[in-house]
Amino acid sequence: MKNTRRDFLKTFVASSVAIPFVSQACLPEKKLGVALVGLGSYATNNLAPSFVNTQFCRLVGIVTGTPAKAETWKKKYDIPDKNIYNYQNFDEISKNPDIDVVYVVLPNGMHHEFVLRAAKAGKHVICEKPMAISVKECEEMMAACKVAKVTLSIGYRLHYEPFTNEVMRLAKDKDFGKVAFVESSFGFPLRDKKAWRMIPKLSGGGPMMDVGVYAVNAARYATGEEPISVTAQAVKTHPDIYVEGIEETMFWQMKFPSGAISNHTTTYNSYLQRLYVGYENGNLEMSPAFDYGPLKGKTSKGEMKFPIVHHQTLMLDGICGDIINNRPMRTPGEEGLRDVKIMMAAFEAAKTGKKVKLV
């Protein structure tokens, strides 16, 4: 049986979950048109169904290198031929007034190229995480969008759902006092050497550049701080499966300005998913903490009780609502850049065995 991250992360159909009510007075006169670039499992199973309940955007275009997929999506989502592109003629999207936003859902190593091309085409951009496979690429993506005067958001869906927002609130309001310790871990078994995640030029690394980004981001929003240093260790028990440039398991530790410390694991060796936050006067624990839901958790005060929502629907509406209303992006390129800087520092620390300073 083929194991993938998408098999591991549970899928919830938009029509089966609670969607927050939006007043008719708040609705835009015209929904933003979104084109998905890359029609893999995440786009197929999670993003496309999300548009059923979006208030601020709609699916109007696709970009794919597979003609059979184009035909299937055309029929399923009533997409006109003029809004269907491949990777070669993608730049023609600049002439299409139906498409306002391009969502790049390609392998990590392709994010940079297509964000730059989308910006040059004058389209707002959403890019899946991790933002790119190097700090330099992230900075170039941000610069290109700034020059083109288009917005750039990174697909951090958890920033739009209530459990994660409660973790952020506790860091800010300090109901249990200051954060002392964070542990966040995410992993799943992956053995398929032909998967794009196992090809360094496409993935940029192993589990760190796949689900490890969730653990990195969680430490940042759980503390409300940016780490000042990182130490790390990489372990391979199956070097015949995990080639050079693809770590099997990564452990890393971070220190924060307040004195808080964190410990993390990401792996392609086994299932693992948890967020723990220790405060001065209490704690929080979530498991599952990062998948598509339902998320579950508890604090020192008891079970965390929040609505079960469709993450991708809220994220798409949150981003497109900000574009329509000319508000700052909640998950801008800077958010993606910060995580990539930390992950690159962790790779360096694992390679050298030395602590890497982040500021």
- Active-site amino acid positions: 129, 214
Calpha distance 218→209 (Å, rounded) = 14
Number of residues assigned to the chain: 359
Question: Three-state SS for 78?
Answer: coil
Is residue 130 within 8 A of residue 158, CB to CB? The reply is no
Show the tokens assigned to 73: 């999506």
Q: Which long-range contacts (CB under 8 A, 24 or more apart) does 11-16 make?
A: 11/45, 11/46, 11/292, 12/292, 12/293, 12/294, 12/308, 12/310, 13/49, 13/310, 14/49, 14/50, 14/51, 14/52, 14/53, 14/310, 14/312, 14/313, 15/49, 15/52, 15/53
First to last CA, the chain: 44
Q: What are phi and psi of 69, to 5 degrees?
A: -65, -40
54 and 31 in contact (C-beta within 8 Å)? yes
